[in-house]
């Protein structure tokens, strides 16, 4: 973390955007914990892999 800060990777804009993302991070963490308790481990793992693959595919699609 110190290396990133010294390298200039932490800017005011990046910290503001991070602050805006905190509610989504907390919501996603809570939802993941809730689903982990309700869904069997193997099924949860399958769902999680599917979501990760879907997000990876979305990153490959060009957006204007």
pLDDT at 64 over 80: no
- Cα 21 from Cα 54, distance rounded (Å): 21
**Predicted pLDDT at 41:** 86
**Predicted pLDDT at 8:** 83
Exposed/middle/buried for residue 48 (C-beta within 10 Å: 0-12, 13-18, 19+): middle
**Predicted pLDDT at 2:** 80
Cβ–Cβ contacts within 10 Å for residue 30, how many?
Answer: 10
Based on DSSP, count helices (H) and strands (E) in the chain, helices before strands.
3, 0
pLDDT at 24 over 90: yes
**Predicted pLDDT at 14:** 85
């Amino acid at each position: 973390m110190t290396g990133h800060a010294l390298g200039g990777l932490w800017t005011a804009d990046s910290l503001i955007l991070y602050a805006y993302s905190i509610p989504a991070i907390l919501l996603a963490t809570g939802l993941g914990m809730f689903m982990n308790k309700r869904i069997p481990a193997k099924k949860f793992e399958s769902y999680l892999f599917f979501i990760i693959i879907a997000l990876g595919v979305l990153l490959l699609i060009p957006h204007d």
